[in-house]
Amino acid sequence: MGKEKAPVADRYARFMLRHRWAVIFGIFAFAIAGAFYIKDVNLRNDPDSLLPLTNRYIATNLYAERQYGMGNIMVWGFKLRQGDIFQPWFVQMLDDFYKDASKLAFANEENFIGLPSSRMRHLGLSKDGGLDFKRLIPASGLSADAKVREQQIRFLKQGIQTHPVLEPLLVYYEDAQGNKCNLVDKNGVLSNQSVAHAHEECTARATFIIGDFSNGLKNHYLDWIKSVHELQARYEQRYGDRVEFIVSGEPYFLAAMVEEIRDKAWLFGISLLIVLLVLWYEFQHWNCSVFPLLGVGITIVLTLGLMGFTQFKLTTMMVLTPMLLLAIGIGHAMQVTRRFTQELQRNPHDVDQAAYEAIRHTIVPASLSIGTDLHGFFAISFVDISFYKAYAYFGIFGMSTLILTTTTLIPLLMTIVPPKLGSREAREKPWETSLGSAVTALLTGKWKWIPLALVAAVVWASAHYAELGRGVSALLAGEEGRSDPEVARIQDEFDIMPGAEKGINYPRAAFKDHYLLGELFGNGEVQEISDLDKFSQMMPGAITANMIIRSKAGVLPPCGSDARDEEDNRIIGPDKCYDDMEDPPQGIYNDVSVLKALSDFEDWLRKYPHVGYSTSYIQFLKTINMMLNTPAGEAPMKHMNLFAVPTHKHMMANRYAYADQEDPDYLPDPTEIVQLYNAMLVSSSGPGELDSFVNTSTWDEGVIISFINTMDPVETHQTVVDIQNYLQQHANDPGMDKVIVGIQAGEKIPVGTGGKSIITEESIPDAKAAIGGFLGITEATRDVAFAEWLHAPAMTSMTVFAMTAIMFRSWYIAFLLISLCFITLMTQYGLAGYMTSIKEWSANLAFHVQVALSIAMGLGIDYGVYMVSRLREEMQVTKGEWRQALQNTVQSTGAAVVISVVVLLGSVIPLMNTKLANTWSVSLYVAEALILDVLLALLFLPLVVRWLKPKYIFAEKS
């Protein structure tokens, strides 16, 4: 192989030297051009764009956001340190904060909700007995007159405490011991007892403001979050001694991640410093330290420039790419620099010859090494997840440029500014010699079983935490075992390692709960997570689940102007088109049986333990029914039994409310009632306002939104399964038999603004309902993780196996090397199992972590490749003296491998000290794998080679 490739390498080296100035200027020119595009890097950090849009969950969520809005919800919490929320100064502060928050950039003011909202009205009776709907807090704020102000506060308290829908959402009650007092009972129902307990024995300790923002903020995260911080700081400064301010929400989370990257950019400088120190230690020359950094720096600039130029939508996880390029690039840079200095030692006055030899000798192994590195990226480029693709595309690009920026550029620069060498460069360092001696002694002496035992122990521990045994047992249990739902699940999902949870807790995948750097400087608590935890405890739910309800039958198109002649006579009949002013109403939301079925579904949802709250158009109907049918002069809240869809059965059971005094036998027609309510609602709401709940054009589709009170990956998955099972079990109930829930496979869904659309694929087994909202995204992410956790590493291992087999022309060696990769992979699954066992949801085997499996495999194989190549070389040099060959290999290549991994760890350790969980977890998995790869390459591989005696290495002796 070497003889065939040498001429190419020679020609390449000569060509580069001949045109060195053009090459140098060319590389620098591209780097400068790339630098201009760095500012355009689109760090959008938008989770909606991560997953394949064809996935039914994602398509449902996309459809829901497009049709019904409310995609960027923020929550502010205000918890009093003493007393209740019904204090004048607090109400005034709340009112002021509400107004300021609704003026923030990109705020959809009309969707804000809180006690000061104009939507917050008294649902009661006026003195005259009419229904009363005054604002709870006057539009102009509280009065300056103390007496009037007191009356206003009393009215506010009474108003919110008789509000059955908004009180559970907006007010947090706490007992004297600091425990939450729930307004709803264990069945999720507002009962007289539970409400009385909260009102009489607990204190209204906190309230919330919920805001909605437009997508425009995604292009201005940093400015936007700065204004959010400033707003909060202003109020904290004035009221912080009396009020605890809490903030959370999807846009806040995503913006905070981008902000964290900016704020911790100096850590990148620490990485560079570590690398510089290692280079200085290794070469003891400033230009031998600076040129490698310069070369790798150019690669990083080019890669970032390409990101900016292509406007690829990126996430904060992409910060790992420059760090990986730094780590891997420095390894290559060191190889070529070392070779250059060695050649210069031989011919001290011929820098051109040194450069020629350095390029000629390193270009092929560097290309092969980079080739194996690329496999990890290549494999993940086929996964339909945008950040996987981003990793792959920019990783492949960056890695490829290293051939030019390190292996080629560094020797060329050294011909212009050559290092002044002494005699010490030729010698190996003492630690390298010691390493060679110690490892050789261990692997050829009586303690050689220790590495084997350690490897066995690590594999066993990994299998234990990943619960490989339970997975295998479940798979072998066959049909008989399927009565156990968990066994059936393992079989269906081929979850051979059930101990390693593949689902995702999105907030914890974004942020850690504590971080080391913070601990070192005082407070390591991550506020984004602690605030979210507080909200989760205080509010009904932190993430949403959207159920899109559509009809099976569809509706007729509206009649156009051609439906009537000049004299206004209808010429296109009601069988062909629909005239909403004349024809009987169409659409499932005008059908009382459908409304009742949906109401039953929502009642079931509200009782479900992981659903804290729900809302839909059905709540409109039920409330308006209660308000309009409560006997005149009586408070509607005293007739909660009328909070119902007015079916015939309901009206029979509550005849007192529906009977006509002038015609005792009369009961209204349920269909006419709901159609009247629909008409009243649509003609009385602001244009487009009802569209958050129901399609008022067709009345044939709507949405049910529920709030999920858990983010535990196991519980969120169970919630999805249980909702899907409910819908399947009731699919043929009256009313439900007319609807479909969620987007189905094969549907055409518009995406973006340019008229683009996608066709959905069947991504959910048994055609179960697709759920939108963050719960749906979470489930889709879990599905993707299950599809990829074995698949992507398998793809990588296949290509790595093929590559190594071609490189060494030995199936034996390829098999040996890939076996090492599998050991490493097993330990990564074990690590995931351990993280699952301690519920560390920042680092379980969720999809963002899985990307590390393939990347680490591609990078880790290098160490084995280096060792095998060198062992063969040394066996030839020493004429088959295994012990000497091993010692020579370890103290040269082994030492270089150790240095490489030190550089890599030096690069990623700072990265692990931000608050961001995704970069931490990926770094953790990559670092764990590479450390193990190095140990296996040094301590395990030689043992196996010695025992198996592959011809590739032992051929000469035989």
Partner 1 sequence: MALAGKLLYMIIRTLCVSILLLFFSQAWALKAPPYPQGELNGQQIAEQVYAVSHGLLVRNAVSKQHGKDIAVLVNRAPLERRKNGRRPIVNTFETYGNSHPQSPELDSMQMAIIKSGKAKGTGILFVSYADENKPGIMSVWLPALRKIRRINEPSYEDTWVGTNLTYGELVLRKPEDETHELLRSDVFQDCLPVMTLGPKEVSRYTRKLPDSQCGHKGKAVYVVKSTTKFKNWWYDYHISEIDKKTFAIYRTVYYKAGKKIKTIVIDWQSLDQEDPRIQYPRYIYAITHDSGVDSMVYVPRSTIQLNQDLPDAFWSEATLKKFGKR
Which residues in the 145-164 window bind partner 1 by CB under 8 A? 163
Distance CA 149, CA 139 (A): 14
Measured from the CB atom, the residue of 108 and 530 that comes closer to partner 1 is 108
Instruction: In angstroms, give the least distance from the CB of 692 to partner 1.
Output: 6
Angle at 878 between CA 873 and CA 881, to 5 degrees: 110
The binder of partner 1 chosen from 24, 35, 104, 131 (CB under 8 A): 131
Instruction: In angstroms, give the least distance from the CB of 76 to partner 1.
Output: 12
- Residue 588 interacts with partner 1 (CB under 8 A)? no
* Per-residue 3-state assignment (H helix, E strand, C coil) for 900-916: HHHHHHHHHHHHCCCCE
The binder of partner 1 chosen from 2, 82, 128, 565 (CB under 8 A): 128
Instruction: In angstroms, give the least distance from the CB of 132 to partner 1.
Output: 5
What single-letter DSSP state applies at residue 543? E
What single-letter DSSP state applies at residue 557? P
Residues 50-109 close enough to bind partner 1 by CB under 8 A: 70, 73, 75, 99
Distance CA 683, CA 690 (A): 10
The binder of partner 1 chosen from 90, 97, 112, 801 (CB under 8 A): 112
First vs last C-alpha separation in the chain: 21
Instruction: In angstroms, give the least distance from the CB of 722 to partner 1.
Output: 22
Helix H or strand E segment including 33: helix 20-37
The site that binds partner 1 (CB under 8 A) totals a number of residues, namely 89
Measured from the CB atom, the residue of 544 and 804 that comes closer to partner 1 is 544
For residue 113, the one-letter residue type is: I
Instruction: In angstroms, give the least distance from the CB of 359 to partner 1.
Output: 59
Distance CA 593, CA 927 (A): 59
Measured from the CB atom, the residue of 272 and 626 that comes closer to partner 1 is 626
Tokens of 768: 């179960």
Residue 16 · residue 357 · CB < 8 Å: no
Instruction: In angstroms, give the least distance from the CB of 387 to partner 1.
Output: 28
Distance CA 209, CA 249 (A): 11
Instruction: In angstroms, give the least distance from the CB of 702 to partner 1.
Output: 12
- Give whole-number Cα distances, 691 to 131, 683, 702, 784, in Å: 26, 13, 8, 32
Residues 526-555 close enough to bind partner 1 by CB under 8 A: 539, 544
The binder of partner 1 chosen from 146, 176, 520, 632 (CB under 8 A): 632
Measured from the CB atom, the residue of 623 and 718 that comes closer to partner 1 is 623
The binder of partner 1 chosen from 2, 178, 560, 754 (CB under 8 A): 560
Instruction: In angstroms, give the least distance from the CB of 273 to partner 1.
Output: 46
Residue 289 · residue 280 · CB < 8 Å: yes
Coil, strand or helix at 44: coil
- Residue 603 interacts with partner 1 (CB under 8 A)? no
- Residue 471 interacts with partner 1 (CB under 8 A)? no
The binder of partner 1 chosen from 27, 43, 80, 113 (CB under 8 A): 113
Tokens of 887: 């010692």
- Residue 776 interacts with partner 1 (CB under 8 A)? no
Closest to 704 (Cα-Cα) out of 695, 694, 696 = 694
Q: Burial-class residue 665 by CB neighbours within 10 Å (0-12, 13-18, 19+).
A: exposed
Closest to 591 (Cα-Cα) out of 449, 694, 722 = 694
- Residue 629 interacts with partner 1 (CB under 8 A)? yes
The binder of partner 1 chosen from 477, 563, 790, 902 (CB under 8 A): 563
Measured from the CB atom, the residue of 67 and 353 that comes closer to partner 1 is 67
- Residue 119 interacts with partner 1 (CB under 8 A)? yes
The binder of partner 1 chosen from 200, 565, 575, 582 (CB under 8 A): 582
* Per-residue 3-state assignment (H helix, E strand, C coil) for 190-214: CCHHHHHHHHHHCEEEEEEEEEEEC
- Residue 669 interacts with partner 1 (CB under 8 A)? yes
* DSSP sequence for 529-545: HHHHHHHHHHSS-SEEE
Instruction: In angstroms, give the least distance from the CB of 55 to partner 1.
Output: 23
Residue 287 · residue 419 · CB < 8 Å: yes
Instruction: In angstroms, give the least distance from the CB of 121 to partner 1.
Output: 4
Tokens of 208: 């919330």
For residue 742, the one-letter residue type is: G
Radius of gyration for the alpha carbons in the chain, expressed in angstroms and rounded: 34
- Residue 619 interacts with partner 1 (CB under 8 A)? yes
Q: Which residues contact 553 (CB under 8 A, 6 or more apart)?
A: 738
H-type alpha helices, 630-748: 648-653, 655-658, 670-684, 713-729
Q: Which one of the spans 219-227, 484-492, 497-505, 557-565 is the region binding partner 1 (CB under 8 A)? A: 557-565
Q: Which one of the spans 498-506, 597-605, 669-677, 738-746 is the region binding partner 1 (CB under 8 A)? A: 669-677
Measured from the CB atom, the residue of 475 and 682 that comes closer to partner 1 is 682
Residues 695-734 close enough to bind partner 1 by CB under 8 A: 696-697, 705, 707
Instruction: In angstroms, give the least distance from the CB of 206 to partner 1.
Output: 15
Residues 375-394 close enough to bind partner 1 by CB under 8 A: none
Q: Which one of the spans 17-25, 81-89, 510-518, 581-589 is the region binding partner 1 (CB under 8 A)? A: 581-589
Tokens of 552: 């099976």
Instruction: In angstroms, give the least distance from the CB of 720 to partner 1.
Output: 20
Q: Which one of the spans 2-10, 422-430, 580-588, 877-885 is the region binding partner 1 (CB under 8 A)? A: 580-588
Distance CA 641, CA 656 (A): 12
The binder of partner 1 chosen from 301, 559, 645, 935 (CB under 8 A): 559
Q: Which one of the spans 363-371, 485-493, 681-689, 784-792 is the region binding partner 1 (CB under 8 A)? A: 681-689
Other C-beta atoms lying within 10 Å of the C-beta of residue 794 = 13
Instruction: In angstroms, give the least distance from the CB of 139 to partner 1.
Output: 6
Measured from the CB atom, the residue of 4 and 565 that comes closer to partner 1 is 565
- Residue 658 interacts with partner 1 (CB under 8 A)? yes
Residues 199-238 close enough to bind partner 1 by CB under 8 A: 210-212
- Residue 486 interacts with partner 1 (CB under 8 A)? no
The binder of partner 1 chosen from 82, 140, 192, 958 (CB under 8 A): 140
Q: Which residues contact 400 (CB under 8 A, 6 or more apart)?
A: 370, 374
Q: In what order do the strands lie in the sheet with 203-212?
A: 180-181, 171-174, 203-212, 73-80, 243-249
What single-letter DSSP state applies at residue 70? -
Query: What is the β-pairing status of strands 180-181 and 203-212?
Result: unpaired
Closest to 76 (Cα-Cα) out of 240, 208, 204 = 208
Residues 164-203 close enough to bind partner 1 by CB under 8 A: 165-166, 169-170
The binder of partner 1 chosen from 19, 81, 134, 262 (CB under 8 A): 134
The binder of partner 1 chosen from 624, 645, 926, 930 (CB under 8 A): 624
Measured from the CB atom, the residue of 133 and 460 that comes closer to partner 1 is 133
The binder of partner 1 chosen from 681, 817, 818, 890 (CB under 8 A): 681
Measured from the CB atom, the residue of 698 and 921 that comes closer to partner 1 is 698
- Residue 585 interacts with partner 1 (CB under 8 A)? yes
State the virtual CA torsion across 769, 770, 772, 775 in degrees, nearest 10. Answer: 90
Distance CA 134, CA 162 (A): 13
Would the CA dihedral through 708, 712, 718, 720 be positive or negative?
Answer: positive
Coil, strand or helix at 439: helix
Instruction: In angstroms, give the least distance from the CB of 336 to partner 1.
Output: 56
* Interface map 823-862 toward partner 1 (x if CB under 8 A): ----------------------------------------
